[in-house]
Structure 1
Amino acid sequence: MVEAAKCTTAEDVFQWMKQGCSEGIHPGLERMEWMCEHLNHPERRLKTIHIAGTNGKGSTSAMVASILKEAGYPTGMFSSPYLSHWSERITMDGEPIPESEFVRWGREVALLTEERAAQGLDRITEFEFWTLVALLYFAREAVPWFVVWETGLGGRLDSTNVVIPLVSVITNVGHDHQGFLGDTLTAIAKEKAGIIKPGVPVISASEDESVLAILREKAKEKKSRFYQMGQDFQTIKRSDEKDEGTSIDFQGPYRHLNDLFIPLVGEHQVKNGATALMICEVLRQFYATVIEEDRIHVGLAGTKWPGRLETIATKPRILLDGAHNREGARALAKAFASYKYEKLHLLFGAGTDKEIKEMLSPLLPYVDTVTVTQAEHPRSQTVFSLADTVRSIQPELEPQVIADPIKAVTQLQNEVGSQDMIVVAGSLFLVAEVRRSLTT
């Protein structure tokens, strides 16, 4: 193993991480709290917007960060996973962390982890490593005015839950990571509600009453003001630009904003946009943040979030979407109506930990062909298992099996009509792999 003290390149740090971090997911805050204490609490030096939720975290985070940057506030962002390059996980005003800074702070985290291990304490996970690097980079080097912080898994025991936020956000609660968060929406909601802090405003776009009841109760317990979409804030759709985005009016408790453009496609992105706007309103109302209306228009319209209903090629159109759970698949199926095409071809791959039947069921009725594939990731489901699932749902739709995603998308490009649409979905790892091949 590369010694932490000898890490001088990003490759050195990654080699150290493979052997120096514990494998897998190990929920709990004890390791993070110990590390933060020994790093002189970088999390206490940051003004954070903490965003959890089954779907929509990334899109909401990107919209908030874009608006705040446009309003003149240097803004950091922590998200996962990345699509094109590892440095995208930690950004400052949209710019990825420089490799030299990743090495600098990665080495410091690695040194402390080795010291911890020498004391007989368990090693941190890779996600905790990334979280700590981000904390150090933002607190000691980049020094943003705000940091938009996306949870990794759940909320209560997620490594990001050491931050002390200005506002806590739970976009929605759906079925994902049941092995860690629970089998029911209420159980998952309780885990995500764990990011709610005493006196810190809470925002949610959830529409499930059982989920909302849990979030309201936790907010009441913590004496936190709770803002619910549809009750405290809402949007009115002005026009649908189909495959370009949506124009909306926003009605909040403190002001109304008209004719805003959300450049991300789909009804679900309207909800994410409304949530982002409500976050900005809370910052403006309670934290003396000056966000002029014209800056909101420009910032929102300028949002970029790749891999979410992203058109990456035309003739035929290739649409990438990171839908990786049943709710995401339903949103994708609903979004098909926003596009014009002659035939629809689905290229699908998913992880072994996903509810694959529940993901495929809303999609298959819309498609003319389906090709199953397997991303280069250890948790990817085999193509044979995926093919069997397709047959069990829709026996008349015989799936094409091409294990290599790049070969699969290339073959589809060559075979389908120029007015057809190819949709790549089921896994962010699959979307990332295909996206890299089509943009390099």
Structure 2
Amino acid sequence: MVETYAEALQFIHGRDRFKKKPTLDRMRQFMHILGDPQAKLNTIHVAGTNGKGSTVAFLRDLFMAEGQTVGTFTSPFITRFNERISTDGVPISDDDLVAMVKRIQPVVDRLDRELAEEGPTEFEIDTALMFCYFASHPVDVVIVEVGLGGLYDSTNIITPAVSVITTIGLDHMKILGDTIPQIATQKAGIIKSGVPVVCGRLTPDALAVMDQTAASKQTDVRALGRDFTVKNQPKAETWGERFAYTWGDHRWQHLEIDLLGQYQIDNAATALTAFITYHQQRHLPIEIADIRQGLRQTAWPGRFERLTTEPLIAIDGAHNEPAMVELAQLLRQHFSQHDVYIVLAVLADKQYDQMVRTLLKVPNVHIVVTQFQGPGKRAAATPQALEDAVTSQKRISMASDWPSALKQVLTNVSADDLVLLTGSLYFISEVRQYFKDAD
């Protein structure tokens, strides 16, 4: 039996990540034995290729600004596992995590015996811990982030108040399919009968899948760019964004966020629409002052996050090709007058060749490709593989490990330049910890 925090983590991380056949039957059985804790929760469900974490953070802070208590379930964590299960942004305590593991461990043992090779996976256990925790430590609303896909994700046994789908792009193609409509179909799997759906900026073919799925479930979709809109309102300071928001009678100017990038405006607007939808369903009033405060105070670690200001060093968790396209756009918009030095490390199962090429399309970018310790059994792409991904070797060099790459970059930068470490959330988690320890 698990007794310590270290043993609890060992128990969680020691499980298989995937099973051969995707199914929700095992998760339903698991939760049923535990008394269906998820049925006691008031939830909002968030899926999407990119932007899930930031959208969850905006939603959390919108609810908190009006005095509600908010549970969140997110992945991956940046510094410690506990971050994945948080209340009002505060991670679950070590003692509570151990208590929850002790509660579910006998059920996991029983399912292992009954289902042989098909016992619960690591993420199913994470999800079970979260459901049990919030059922026994009640909050006003729990914002649940999908782990992977949607249709067969272990979180998909809930019936939420609102379903949110942020973006659809090509990622996890071995599991979810290799076309946008195929991936959209997996994400649309979270749409439930009669539950309203809010979508971020989707391509027409992805949005068509959402509309068809919603119609078959007797519900409707509110989509960014079609039903609600945003307009960027540039401001003098370099950090943060300002925008106008319009949806029906809701027309607000000069909403501000402290995160950078057009995609963060999109995430904020998607969260805001989900927030309003939730309030409309429950006939609850909304205050624009709360909305302004909630959006302005939202921070999300590892999303174009400043670590130091002189020199300006930032980290960003862009870990797939759609995210790199957004990142390249951000660099063009905010840093076209600066030299940008990127330390890039990517997991080997990503489209790293395309990611490198996308970054090199920004003319003032210089890249040092390197590697980091990949999580568990997942390997990082070698610097050589990353360098081989491009034909022209101009503006790209190589370092054996990321601290060497950073040292190499810092000898070249001037006070006006930007140093950016990116390519994987696991990588920037390592970087962030390194800077924290150095303080």
- Counterparts of 1:53 and 1:75 in 2: how far apart (Å)? 21
Name the counterpart of 2:302.
307
- 1:106–1:286: structure 2 CA closer, same or farther, 3 Å change rule? same
Q: How much does 1:383 deviate?
A: 1.9
Q: How much does 1:225 deviate?
A: 1.9
Q: How much does 1:425 deviate?
A: 1.2
Paired residues, what number?
Answer: 430
Q: How much does 1:226 deviate?
A: 1.0
8 Å CA contact retained: 2:46, 2:145: yes
The DSSP-based 3-state class of the residue aligned with 2:169 is coil
- Residue type of the alignment partner of 2:52: K
Q: How much does 1:258 deviate?
A: 2.8
Mapped pair 1:438 → 2:426? no
The DSSP-based 3-state class of the residue aligned with 1:161 is coil
- Counterparts of 2:236 and 2:196 in 1: how far apart (Å)? 33
Q: Aligned runs of 1:2-151 on 2, under 5 Å?
A: 5=1, 7-19=2-14, 21-24=15-18, 27-121=22-116, 122-141=118-137, 143-151=138-146
Name the counterpart of 2:399.
401
Q: How much does 1:400 deviate?
A: 1.9
| TM-score for both structures, normalised by structure 1 | 0.94
The DSSP-based 3-state class of the residue aligned with 2:161 is strand
Q: How much does 1:320 deviate?
A: 0.9
State percent identity of aligned pairs.
Answer: 32
- 1:25–1:54: structure 2 CA closer, same or farther, 3 Å change rule? farther
- Counterparts of 1:34 and 1:28 in 2: how far apart (Å)? 11
- Counterparts of 2:180 and 2:266 in 1: how far apart (Å)? 19
- Counterparts of 1:254 and 1:147 in 2: how far apart (Å)? 27
Q: How much does 1:89 deviate?
A: 0.8
8 Å CA contact retained: 1:43, 1:164: no
- Counterparts of 1:289 and 1:25 in 2: how far apart (Å)? 42
- Counterparts of 1:242 and 1:180 in 2: how far apart (Å)? 42
- 1:194–1:395: structure 2 CA closer, same or farther, 3 Å change rule? same
Name the counterpart of 1:264.
259
**1:391-426 alpha-carbon deviations (Å, 9 max, x no partner):** 43x3333422222x2332244224422322111111
- Residue type of the alignment partner of 1:99: D
Name the counterpart of 1:282.
277
Gaps of 5+ in 1: none
8 Å CA contact retained: 1:329, 1:363: yes
Name the counterpart of 1:233.
228
The DSSP-based 3-state class of the residue aligned with 2:156 is helix
Superposition RMSD in Å = 1.6
Mapped pair 1:429 → 2:423? no
- 1:18–1:299: structure 2 CA closer, same or farther, 3 Å change rule? closer
8 Å CA contact retained: 1:347, 1:423: yes
Q: Aligned runs of 1:185-196 on 2, under 5 Å?
A: 185-196=180-191
- 1:25–1:346: structure 2 CA closer, same or farther, 3 Å change rule? farther
**1:245-287 alpha-carbon deviations (Å, 9 max, x no partner):** 1122211124222321111100111111110110111011112
- Counterparts of 2:398 and 2:197 in 1: how far apart (Å)? 46
Moved more, 147-156 or 351-360: 351-360
Gaps of 5+ in 2: none
Q: How much does 1:237 deviate?
A: 2.4
Name the counterpart of 2:293.
298
**1:5-47 alpha-carbon deviations (Å, 9 max, x no partner):** 2x1221011222344x224465321221111111111111111
- Counterparts of 1:319 and 1:81 in 2: how far apart (Å)? 19
